[in-house]
Amino acid sequence: MAVTTGYNVTVKQLTLGSCSCSDGVLTITGATCTELPYMDTYTYDGSLEEIDVTAFGDALRTTVDGFPDYTVTISGGLDLSNAVQLALANSATCGTSRKARIFNISDGGKTLQIRGALNAQSQGSSVGGKSTFSIGVHLKNLPKWS
């Protein structure tokens, strides 16, 4: 399998339409996809909670699996003159950030669909470098590759 540079990554935010969830599978109908310009990098992190059930007398710590937890960070160049990126940056800093959003991240011919609330944002710049923007998304449904 070839490793790609990530330059082919596109991120789209779905708006309008309706979504439903059955057995952890997200189904979306009637949505509009809006590409998030310059957002060309993502990280996808998953973890599994471990619940301590160690009893007195056990030789080692004992745990059982708890619930999974997923976060996605989307980042790229900052351009607040772009209305789509400006709206996302503004909503990430106010109360609407907790509203669940749906994103499609396309990479290498596959699409990762996520639904979650914005839980972090950052903006930065360096001398001679590009300005950057990133958002963190805490997933509310299981992620789905297609």
Q: Which domains does the chain have, with CATH numbers?
A: 10-145 (2.40.30)
pLDDT of res. 21: 62
| Neighbour count for residue 81 (Cβ, 10 Å) | 7
Evaluate if residue 93 carries a pLDDT over 80. no
pLDDT of res. 61: 94
Q: Which residue has the tokens 């907790």?
A: 98
Q: How confident is the model at residue 1 (pLDDT cuts 50, 70, 90)?
A: very low
Q: Which residue has the higher pLDDT, 137 or 84?
A: 137
Average pLDDT over residues 123-139: 86
* Structural tokens at position 118: 């914005």
pLDDT of res. 119: 84
Pick the range with the lowest mean pLDDT from 31-35, 69-73, 103-107, 132-136: 31-35
8 A C-beta contact, residue 111 and residue 145: yes
8 A C-beta contact, residue 136 and residue 119: yes
* Structural tokens at position 124: 């930065």
pLDDT of res. 96: 57
Give dist(CA 118, CA 74) in Å, integer.
10
Does the reported pTM lie above 0.85? no
CA-nearest of 15, 11, 124 to 73 is 11
Q: How far is CA 6 from CA 22, 125, 127, 143, in A?
A: 32, 21, 24, 19
Mind listing the pLDDT tens digit for each residue in 2-45?
A: 444 555 677 877 765 666 666 655 566 666 777 788 888 888 89
Mind listing the pLDDT tens digit for each residue in 36-88?
A: 888 888 888 989 899 999 999 999 999 999 988 899 998 888 888 888 888 87
Evaluate if residue 100 carries a pLDDT over 60. yes
Q: What is the CA radius of gyration of the chain?
A: 18
Give dist(CA 36, CA 43) in Å, integer.
16
Give dist(CA 76, CA 31) in Å, integer.
24
